[in-house]
Amino acid sequence: MKKPISLWIILIAFILFTLGQLTSSFSSVSTLVDVFIKDSENLNLITSLSIMWSLIQAFSLPILYVITLVVIFMKKEIAPIMLKIFWCISMLPISIAIVIGIQSAFDNTSGSNQAENLGELFGVLSLMGLFVYLTYSLFFSAKIKHYFQYLQDK
């Protein structure tokens, strides 16, 4: 059985989120390592431990995302549960960014005129609608449910 098109769209979005997480992880890790190297004599134990925890955290989530994608493409039974859990985790920062974007559009702080503010609001609401649709189709789509059920029965 072939993967439904909605599952392919979700997987592509999930891969893009993973790549974005990896990219932001590398920049934050380089900043943390730079601080650790330059000010290592002025740092106390708690600061050193927090930097190490940030390094572990920066790499653990993208590694779990990659493992989830590998499990999905290997067609394992645990794939739908892993995808749903990590999809929700990846949607959390995006949801926060969408809320902040809506708030700034209503506050008229980012645009120079009303047309720019309405365009920003329309873009943010369209993005929010896309993510709500993708999340809904992941959790409640009959085709995706049937596809994963087919894999479990196989």
In which element (H, E) is residue 4 found?
none
Q: pLDDT tens digits for 10-29?
A: 888 878 877 777 777 677 67
Q: pLDDT tens digits for 31-52?
A: 777 776 776 666 666 666 766 7
The radius of gyration of the chain from alpha carbons, rounded to an integer in Å, stands at 20
- The structural domains of the chain, with segments of one domain joined by +, span 5-153
Give the C-alpha separation, 100 to 134, whole Å. Answer: 21
Whether 142 has a pLDDT exceeding 80, the answer reads yes
Does the pTM of the predicted model rise above 0.75? no
Chain centroid to Cα 105, Å, comes to 23
pLDDT at residue 106 in the model: 72
Q: pLDDT tens digits for 58-111?
A: 777 777 777 887 887 777 778 788 888 878 877 777 777 778 777 777 776 555
| CA-based nearest residue to 80, from 22, 16, 150 | 150
Which of 91-95, 116-120, 131-135 has maximum average pLDDT? Answer: 131-135
pLDDT at residue 135 in the model: 82
pLDDT at residue 127 in the model: 81
pLDDT at residue 108 in the model: 66
